A and B are shown apart, each in its own frame.
Chain A
Amino acid sequence: MLIEIKKLNVAYGTKTVLENITLTLSENEIVTIVGPNGSGKTTLFKAIIGSIPIKSGKVEIKQNLKIGYVPQLLNIDRSLPLTVERFLKLAKSRNDQGFLRAKQILDSDDLLSKQVSNLSAGQLQRVLLGYALMNEPDVLLLDEATRGLDQPGSAAFYKKIEEIRKTTGCAILMISHDLHVVMGASNRVICLNGHICCQGEPKSVAASPEYISMFGSKVEGALALYHHNHSHEGKGS
């Protein structure tokens, strides 16, 4: 077990944001958290990395677990000159191996000398993912990592994630709005809305009444779309 959360409650002031959350993440798993805006998805991540105080319950992290956190964006002012290479080397362990891994994710070496504040959404996502991989993480936390990417862009991004899991064996916990892609690519889906509404295998979650009341029943078609994306690369359908 890499991460084990038991009966977690988090509140901002008097407002309860997360209520009675119990979930686990094991080796090699891809778990996706879906939920409407304001359902506490990012807060859950913050509780895992320890950047907010928790009200009650437990967040148990396996000892010496290396977490690679991929945030939605960087709060970079144009007055801060920062090349992609310099940013990557801010990582805790900056050995050559990590740097090589990160470079692979970037796809192009030209990106290294670019200013972080000038990156497009897709480039920034790759850089942030590369940064997370610098430390050779056991777990990747992806917070809406495909925000701002178009559909082929996010499909390519998720393919990369799948590759990373295959080659490094790290577990992945992600927040996503790309229901169609996510449902196909995950081992487990957790439906969050302040509390956990339902969780399980993608298909059973998609069929559950809680899920349908939250996202509608169009998921079947969306699932098909995902498979369609795949068939481009494969033998064709």
Chain B
Amino acid sequence: MLDDFMVRAAIAGIGVALAAAPLGCFVVWRRMAYFGESTAHAALLGVSLSLLFEFSVFFGAIFLSLLMTSLVTLAQGRSLFLDTLLGVAGHMSLATGLVVVSFISGVRIELMAYLIGDILSVSKTDVLLIWIGLLIVLGLIFWRWSALLLCTLNEDLAASSGLNPRRESYALTIGLAVVVAVGIKVVGVLLIISMLIIPAASARSLVSTPEKMAVFASVIGMLSAVLGLNASYVFDTPTGPSIVCVASLIFIITLVLSFFVGQFSGIIKTEKES
């Protein structure tokens, strides 16, 4: 079964979507989208370095992402212009990564695969790595769920019930680094953050509790992966961007839907009142 590249691609896509969606909820709630973006950019530098020195692309990506997230977490609360620092560090890594790659002959085309993903070429090892990453991320999120929620709401409130907000937020940054590293092969550095935030954003208008949002986001993410993969096969379009296009379409649909539902329930309310 795993010998069919479409099956491998589907399993890889679903794996990344499942890991990204619940984590993406926290990225949205904690307004960390920009943080995620910079992490992904750092990962590209990791990819370039591993191509240059010929070691595993996956570990290059995860190492640089972790380095970036750690540095930023350290800087948090110590610097007043964190946002700017993030932008500088992220784009510096991206640019350096692109320059480094230009020193290696023959990988320019391959680089495109890391920018927008190349899900159709995932190997069995890639699939295994993605699912190991998925288990790590889901494990972290399940284990720390309530603690992370409380820290998101108010760090002092969390501290007063014996939690360490700094350590909790570190769990998130590790999860982020893992998702970026496993997602590169599937949707690429430029689009991986969309797999985090778009399913979460689509789920928001449909739910009333954080748990439901994570579940709905996971379903939407999986749906996008499978439908996007099929669409790219039928229309012969690049797969990573196709997946993100499907996710965006779902987002627009839920947005319109929730608008009309809101209008509709508004009408019912006024009718009842009158």
Interface pair B209/A81, CB less than 8 Å apart? yes
A45 interfacial by beta-carbon distance below 8 Å: yes
Interface pair A77/B213, CB less than 8 Å apart? no
B: interface residue count bin: 20 to 34
A46 interfacial by beta-carbon distance below 8 Å: yes
Bound Cα distance A226, B245 (Å): 62
B207 interfacial by beta-carbon distance below 8 Å: yes
Interface pair B201/A79, CB less than 8 Å apart? yes
Give the residues in chain B near A76, CB-CB below 8 Å.
Answer: 153
Q: Which of A46, A79, A91, A131 contacts B156 (CB 8 A)?
A: A46
Stretch at the interface among B80-88, B121-129, B157-165, B177-185: B157-165
Bound Cα distance A39, B150 (Å): 27
Q: Which of B31, B146, B210 contacts A81 (CB 8 A)?
A: B210
Interface pair B204/A75, CB less than 8 Å apart? no
Interface pair A90/B150, CB less than 8 Å apart? yes
Q: Which of A45, A50, A81 contacts B213 (CB 8 A)?
A: A81
Give the residues in chain A near B210, CB-CB below 8 Å.
Answer: 80-82, 86
Taken residue by residue from 21 to 33, chain B's Cβ proximity to chain A (1 for < 8 Å, 0 otherwise) reads as 0000000111100
Closest A residue to B31 using CB positions: A77
Give the residues in chain A near B29, CB-CB below 8 Å.
Answer: 77, 79-80
B149 interfacial by beta-carbon distance below 8 Å: yes
Give the residues in chain A near B108, CB-CB below 8 Å.
Answer: none
Interface pair A50/B159, CB less than 8 Å apart? yes
Interface pair A81/B156, CB less than 8 Å apart? no
Stretch at the interface among A25-33, A66-74, A187-195: A66-74
Bound Cα distance A150, B28 (Å): 34
Give the residues in chain A near B150, CB-CB below 8 Å.
Answer: 90
Number of residues in A with C-beta < 8 Å to the partner?
28
Bound Cα distance A74, B150 (Å): 10
Interface pair A71/B156, CB less than 8 Å apart? yes
CB contact list, B164-183 vs A, under 8 A: 165
Closest A residue to B166 using CB positions: A51
Q: Which of B28, B31, B146, B154 contacts A71 (CB 8 A)?
A: B154
Interface pair B209/A51, CB less than 8 Å apart? no
Give the residues in chain A near B31, CB-CB below 8 Å.
Answer: 77
The distance from the CB of B39 to the nearest CB of chain A, in whole angstroms, is: 20
Closest A residue to B213 using CB positions: A81
Closest A residue to B208 using CB positions: A81
Taken residue by residue from 176 to 196, chain B's Cβ proximity to chain A (1 for < 8 Å, 0 otherwise) reads as 000000000000000000000
Bound Cα distance A91, B161 (Å): 8
Give the residues in chain B near A90, CB-CB below 8 Å.
Answer: 146, 149-150, 153
Q: Can you show 24 pairs from A to B with CB atoms below 8 A apart?
A: A45-B156, A49-B156, A50-B159, A51-B155, A69-B156, A69-B157, A71-B156, A71-B157, A77-B29, A77-B31, A79-B28, A79-B29, A81-B209, A81-B212, A81-B213, A82-B153, A82-B209, A86-B211, A87-B153, A90-B146, A90-B149, A90-B150, A92-B162, A135-B161
Interface residues of A (CB under 8 A from B): 45-46, 49-51, 67-69, 71, 73-77, 79-83, 86-87, 90-92, 115, 131, 135, 141
